[in-house]
Amino acid sequence: MSAEGKENLRYYVRLMCKEDAAQVTEIDRDTLSTQWPPPNYKRELQSSLSRYIVAIDDTPTSPGIAEPQTIISPHTKYGGATARIRQWFSWYHAPSSPLKKEFIVGLAGLWIMADEAHVITIVVRKKCRGQGVGELLLIALNELAAKQKAHIITLEVRISNTVAQNLYTKYGFTRVGLRHGYYTDNQEDALLMSTQDITSIVFQKHFAQLKRDYHQSLIK
């Protein structure tokens, strides 16, 4: 992809850090019936089983945040998992402004259990929906699961959420079960969905094509 195309990408992803908890909780309040307070996210980030990522709006007109949370420079040196995440995500790029305050527009998370990765959440700010953020987060979760040596990815989705179901189906998820009364706010049922083996050649070829299509849709 050309440098020009890369610069046109509005969003990028990185690992969530504890300083993001306030913004993430704000997104939860905006979108979910129930929410975890920041201390729970901070505790989850310390777990060896969970991985969380956030999507950042990198445009000059993004609203920013009242209090600085995380400031990233293109020259920042990352260590540990954060350094690896930049290599894993083919979409990752540094913010265009060296001292730009980050505005989080979405969150996604996985639990890693043996060879299975289970999607904990994918959530996007209401005003940022319909712009490909959810799909970007799903792509990133797929790549993260693969790097964690998972063979399948599973998730639950509200039976009424056909938009999300269509996205998951596009990325190789199929219905494998039903959880009655799974959602505590209204006792709605959840569909249990799962991929086939994400390490298979067939899945990898399909996923690679979907990533190319997604990228092309952003840089046209």
Which residues is 13 bridged to in the sheet?
A: 55
Catalytic residue among 44, 135, 143, 156: 156
CB-based burial, 178-187: b 16+ in 10 Å, e otherwise: eeeebbeeee
Angle, to 10 degrees, between the axis of helix 133-147 and the axis of helix 162-170?
Answer: 50
**Contact indicator for 70, 20 with CB cutoff of 8 Å:** yes
Cα torsion through 64, 67, 69, 70, rounded to 10: 60
DSSP state of 117: E
What is the C-alpha separation between 174 and 195, in angstroms, rounded?
6
Tell which phi-psi region holds residue 151, choosing left (phi > 0), alpha (psi between -120 and 50) or beta: alpha
Which of the following is catalytic: 12, 41, 168, 171? 168
Q: Helices (DSSP H) in the chain: which residue ranges?
A: 3-7, 21-31, 38-45, 80-88, 133-147, 162-170, 201-219
For residues 28 and 123, is the Cβ–Cβ distance under 8 A? yes
Examine the residue annotation and report whether 156 is marked as an active-site residue of this protein.
yes
Does 67 qualify as catalytic in the annotation?
Answer: no
What SS3 state is found at 149? coil
Catalytic positions are 156, 168
